[in-house]
Structure 1
Amino acid sequence: MLEWSGFCHCACIAVDAQAYGSKNDRSQSEIQHDLPRLLDRAARGAGLDRAQWQIQRKGDEQLAVRPLDGTEPRLVDDYVRHLVAELRRYNAQRVPEARMRLRAVVHQGLVETAENGFAGSAVVATARLLGADQLYDALAAHPDADLVLLLSDDVFRSTVAGGHTTLSTDDFTHVTVRVKEYEAPAWLSVPALGTPTAAPRTPGRTEEGWPAPAVPASGPPAGDRHGPAAADPVAGGTGISNEYRAESINVTNVAGSVDARGAVFGFGSAGG
């Protein structure tokens, strides 16, 4: 285990199992047994060595701290991706009530190893981020997801926005976390979905950064476009129109062979 003296600029990685307190004794014991092993396997898959991290264990929760060493993009990208894969395999063998679902946070800042754990505002901030309402809401909004992720603004800007990962900024949604005395911007994602994944607002909550309503693409109104007519759900339509539209047909004469993989052909006659 890597040791350091004094305050050192560190990465802080925290995870917490969802609904741990509602499980029975045997299920809680199983989570405490399996969680460290899933985290270890994910780290090995990402080429990281958790044996070199300082780890504070608390039942269904772990806080890992390590000095910054340039592998932070791999931590945000590969480690999280491997952890999602490990959770998927783990949960596929269990009934829904026995699934392990994680809230995960990555932050960075000055940390000192202390007599009873860690000292430093970065550790406090990591704990506050882990308790963010947005993480709980995202798990509730995406019941098939095994993990939801929150990056602090510093981590997001220095890794994802900096172009140092395979992730896109579009995979994250900007949120404002308010827990106790803590308030700061952060970036939310559900990695397995690969899309912006902010959970819907809890009624009465007015968080900043939630996605705006979708804006229709530019172009003529749907009713003016040529193409299959929309289905009438009342009439039980199929969504396919058999109406012949001569003005929308293009005829192309081609001599020789044609590679039409992925193409769609329609056939009709001038008589309808």
Structure 2
Amino acid sequence: MDAQAYGGNNDRRQSEIQHDLPRLLDRAARSAGLDRARWQIQRKGDEQLAVRPLDGAEPRLVDDYVRHLAAELREYNAQRVPEARMRLRLVIHQGLVELADNGFAGSAVVATARLLNAPALYDALAAHPGADLVLLLSDDVFRSVVEGGHTSLRTEDFTRVTVQVKEYRAVAWLLVPGTSSGERTTAFHEPGAAERGKPTAPAPGEPAADRSGPAAAGGAGAAGGAAISNEYRADKINVTNVAGPVDARGAVFGFGGGGG
């Protein structure tokens, strides 16, 4: 990951970015249930190269971590003037990595560095000035994690791009979280759906195939053929107090003031 336009900032702002960036990354990881203390991290001012073990949490990294990082950046930038915003390019790739005396070695490391400098990432930031984060997945990661159906993301959320940087040429998949591109819909349409753990495990306790969607308004119900009514029935309302993230797809919410 790398921060946009770091070199154009003065010394004080550069120092602030180096202070704030790792804290944003740590908070996003904790929110996604990931432990960055287990990652090998190479720090370079406004840039980090992190190597983590293949432990079955790759869907959570691609889905939840990216979503929480976008949220952290959104909150961070909301308190700053436009010139002081932090905008990140993020790349996720997989492969064998050797811990060397002066950092990391291996073709996967080189590929990650080339993907991070892909013109498509810079173009996406320019085309979406309101975006705080742009993501590029290598073809391997995209096909095994997203196309494999292990996240809440859809293949149509991504744009296929060809990356040509120096001697490196490969297909990759671009996502701008929270925005639409052409006919593509907003990403993360089902927040929290990727709490699956290992890639082969189903979502705990609520397989998608077992969920029944609501009948169309005015249509027949699943049992007895009763139509859906829009009539307000206060005696039918259940109140539940919750704390923390909630998967509430298909739920109906009402909001009231503290005065009753």
TM-score by length of 2: 0.70
CA drift at 1:197: 8.9
Query: Which has the larger Rg?
Result: 1
The partner residue of 1:152 within 129, 138, 147 is: 138
Partner of 2:177: 191
Post-superposition Cα deviations, 1:207-265, rounded to whole Å, max 9, x if no partner, equal xxxxxxxxxxxxxxxxxxxxxxxxxxxxxxxxxxxxxxxxxxxxxxxxxx99468xxxx
CA distance in 1, matches of 2:55, 2:112: 19
Indicate conservation of the 8 Å contact 1:139/1:148, yes or no: yes
1:33/1:178 CA distance change after superposition, 3 Å? same
Does the residue aligned with 2:123 lie in a helix, a strand or coil?
helix
1:80 alignment partner in structure 2:
66
Residue number in structure 2 paired with 1:32: 18
How many residues are matched? 189
Q: Give the 5 Å matches for 1:1-272.
A: 15-193=1-179, 259=229
The Cα offsets for residues 103-134 of structure 1, whole Å up to 9 and x where unpaired, read as: 00000011010100001000000000000000
The unaligned stretches of length 5 or more in structure 2 are 185-226, 232-260
> Identity, % of aligned pairs?
79
Secondary structure of the corresponding residue to residue 143 of structure 1: coil
Structure-2 change in CA distance of 1:196 and 1:73 (3 Å): farther
* Aligned amino acid, residue 98 of structure 2: E
Structure 1 residues 196 and 134 mapped into 2: Cα distance closer, same or farther (>3 Å)?
same
Partner secondary structure for residue 108 of structure 1: coil
SS in 1 for 2:95: strand
Give per-residue Cα distances to partners, 1:158-184, cap 9 Å, x unaligned.
100000000000110100000000000
- Structure 1, unaligned runs of 5 or more: 1-14, 199-256, 262-272
Runs of 4+ in 1 over 6 A off after TM superposition: none
Deviation of 1:191 after TM superposition, in Å, equals 1.2
Aligned AA (1:193): T
Tell me the TM-score normalized by structure 1: 0.67
Q: Secondary structure at the match of 1:188?
A: strand
Task: Report deviation, 1:194.
Answer: 5.6
Q: Tell me, what secondary structure is at the counterpart of 1:64?
A: strand
RMSD between aligned residues: 1.8
